[in-house]
Amino acid sequence: MDMSGSQVIPAEREAVWRALNDPEVLKACIPGCESLEKTSDTEMNAQVTTKIGPVKAKFKGAVTLENIKAPESYTITGEGKGGVAGFAKGSADVKLEEDGAETVLTYEAKAQVGGKL
């Protein structure tokens, strides 16, 4: 599954960059994310619960920040295992562009789910 889009954020790029590197902010941006713990400057452990149709699964996995060009862009990747429900992995290229006092966030994401889901 591929997704892309953009969002205008009423904040300066530096503030948006700091928020995108804050585990609590990222947790709020990931659907179903129950926990996100920073283990290094570029790695985090995550727990996500998702439901597709009648199947509900809890995934545990890792989130990594790569290709970091502060405060302009990075790639966020994640991979999780949900036991018998299957696996999920994906990545998103995130770019921040200044537009006066606002920031334009654009993203291109790819996700793959396998198993019962």
Domain ranges across the chain:
2-114
The CA-atom distances, in angstroms, between 20 and each of 25, 52, 57, 95, 103 are 7, 27, 26, 11, 12
For 59-85, the pLDDT digits (tens) are: 899 999 999 999 999 999 999 988 877
Spans of the chain, pLDDT less than 70? 117
Its pTM stands at 0.84
State whether CATH 3.30.530.20 applies to domain 2-114: yes
Is residue 16 within 8 A of residue 9, CB to CB? The reply is: yes
pLDDT of residue 117: 61
